[in-house]
Amino acid sequence: MPEGPELHLASHFVNEACRGLVFGGCVEKSSVSRNPEVPFESSAYHISASARGKELRLTLSPLPGAQPPQEPLALIFRFGMSGSFQLAPADALPPHAHLRFYTAPPAPRLALCFVDIRRFGHWDPGGKWQPGRGPCVLLEYEQFRENVLRNLSDKAFDRPICEALLDQRFFNGIGNYLRAEILYRLRIPPFEKARTVLEALQHHRPSPEMTLSQKIRAKLQNPDLLELCHSVPKEVVQLGGKGYGPEHGEEDFAAFRAWLRCYGMPGMSSLRDRHGRTIWFQGDPGPLAPKGGKSRKKKSQETQLQPKEKLEDLPPPNKAPSRTPRARRHLPKKTAIQQPEGTSLQQDLKAPTVPEKGRRKGKQATTECHGPWKNKADNPSKGSETCVAC
Active site residues: 2-3, 54
Q: What is the DSSP string of 3-26?
A: -HHHHHHHHHHHHHHHTT--EEEE
d(CA 384, CA 159): 13
Beta strand 122-125 with 110-116 is unpaired
Beta strand 23-26 with 269-272 is unpaired
Which residues, 6+ apart, have CB-to-CB distance to 305 below 8 Å? 250, 253, 257, 311, 314
Closest by CA position to 56, among listed 119, 7, 113: 7
d(CA 269, CA 102): 47
Q: Assess contact for 278 and 270: CB atoms under 8 A.
A: yes
- Spell 210-219 as b/e; 16+ CB within 10 A means b: eeeeeeeeee
d(CA 72, CA 68): 12
Beta strand 110-116 with 296-297 is unpaired
d(CA 270, CA 280): 4
Sign of the Cα pseudo-torsion (176, 182, 185, 186, in order) = negative
Q: Look at phi and psi of residue 107 and say left if phi exceeds 0, alpha if psi is from -120 to 50, else beta.
A: beta
